Amino acid sequence: MSKPTPIKQTRSSVISSISEVFSSQRAAFARDMNPSLAERIDRLDRLSAMTARIAPQLVEAMSADFGHRSPHVTRLADIASVEADIRHNRRSLAKWMKARRVPTALAFQPAYCRVIPQPLGVVGVVAPWNYPYQLAIGPTVAAIAAGNRVMIKPSELTPRVSELMRSAVEASFSPEEIAVIVGDADVGKSFVALPFDHLLFTGSTEVGRQVAVAAAANLTPVTLELGGKSPAIFHQDFSAELDTGRLAMTKLFNAGQTCIAPDYALVPRERLSEFVAGMQASVSRMYPDIGSNPDYTSIINERHWQRLQALLDDARSHGAEIISLGQRIPGGMPRMMTPALVLNVNDDMRIMQQEIFGPLLPVMVYDTLDEMLAYVNRHPRPLALYWFGADAGARDRVLRETLSGGVTINDCMWHFGQQDLPFGGVGASGMGACHGEAGFRTFSKHKPVFYQSRFSGMRLMYPPYGKVFEAVERVMKFIT
């Protein structure tokens, strides 16, 4: 698959058709505002069958878009992850759809209260290029489980995957159920300007701000899955062999092109040499040859390759020490960047100011837990935080005294794979949450309903007001 399948529509025709698709989905929702459990299960089943059917093509298209991407990475992160989402939603959906009875204040009984989950309408999903299938279809699973119609805008940086997804969805769903809109940044701007009932965007903080502004014009609620600089904190008692291996695996998964990849490490000063040696040994064991290793992944395009090289050059010019991890044999596959540790870093370097999104790992040393916590908390809230160490007291202090989107203890990234944990950012790393029941809740209106009884005591509160009202008012202070 050397070239993407040509997209027949021109940019202007795509932009003009976006509103038509949206209007069609809005009208379809108006005709069926609360799909049954059977209808929702049917849509999930069709998504599952579609994913299984195109899986081999997806592996091929993904690698072609990246230059080279490990088939195992695609199968694990994009295909198996979506399949797990579907299975979990399918198993749990009947329970999630039920109305929940909630307590009623004593003064209002025998009335009662319920919360009824209801679909929102038409949901927009904007997906990035790094996991283009999972980050498009994963939120779609949650949205259709909640009973919504969905429009997806995939990234223009992975055109083969986008076109494959468009054609597969078109073959499996009516455009009134799910539609994929392919196109460039201008198409994306038109997409996010639609008055969706909810809009989920995954991508950079910079673009996320623009999306939030566009959505605000329509008062569209947004879920923003952004990024930031996620720290990996190593306590003095970390295991040089076990923990550096876990860090190396997750940092280099997809060549570091992951929003929750560890973005820098905080290491006790006296154990820095052990940490470096552990990272060198771990990377050499996993990726003995960087240039033509089928298990490694290329940087997505030349612009991002040059951006990463510029980060290294800037760090070096400010006094950083670059330690190469692994050996790159000349030739092989395109844009296979050799992993590197960047030591002696400081906040004046661009590598400590920007999310890296590549196989480069800055390492900072610290002397005390107080110093380390102060550094983390001086910076924007990260999407993820990682702790390595056996000291439960220190670990719990870090959990209490830092704020991040999510946490994995003694490893990295795996909180993302837990269906019963909500996934989302905080502050500059995003807002809202998805995954499992959190995704169902995000894409539902949880309607509060008060059911009055024929025998309501509220008639005692009717005018004309007098002594009865005042007596009831005094009593209510004690029973509400």
Residue of 163, 177, 259, 437 marked active site: 259
**d(Cα 222, Cα 214) in Å, to the nearest integer?**
10
For the stretch 318-321, contacts whose Cβ atoms lie closer than 8 Å and that sit 24 or more positions apart, written own/partner, are 318/346, 318/348, 318/349, 319/344, 320/344, 320/345, 320/349, 320/351, 320/362
Phi and psi dihedrals of 342, rounded to 5? -120, 110
Evaluate whether 185 touches 156 at the Cβ level (below 8 Å): yes
Distance of CA 199 to the CA centre of its chain: 13
CA separation, residue 216 to residues 184, 221, 417, 462 (Å): 22, 8, 31, 42
C-alpha atoms less than 13 angstroms from C-alpha of 176 in its C-beta half-sphere: 9
Phi and psi dihedrals of 73, rounded to 5? -65, -45
**d(Cα 397, Cα 328) in Å, to the nearest integer?**
41
Which DSSP string corresponds to 162-180?
HHHHHHHHHHHS-TTTEEE
Phi and psi dihedrals of 137, rounded to 5? -85, -30
Torsion, Cα 217 218 223 229, to 10 degrees, reads -10
**d(Cα 391, Cα 371) in Å, to the nearest integer?**
17
Buried b (16+ CB within 10 A) or exposed e, 27-51: ebbeeeeebeeeebbebbebbbebb
**d(Cα 457, Cα 109) in Å, to the nearest integer?**
8
Query: Which residue type, as a one-letter code, is found at position 3?
Result: K
Residue of 163, 225, 355, 437 marked active site: 225
For 101, the 3-state DSSP assignment is: strand
For residue 89, which of 437, 445, 446, 432 has the smallest C-alpha distance?
A: 437
**d(Cα 144, Cα 45) in Å, to the nearest integer?**
11
**d(Cα 159, Cα 129) in Å, to the nearest integer?**
9
- 225 given a catalytic annotation: yes
For residue 137, which of 194, 25, 54 has the smallest C-alpha distance?
A: 54
- Where in the sequence numbering do the catalytic residues fall? 225, 259
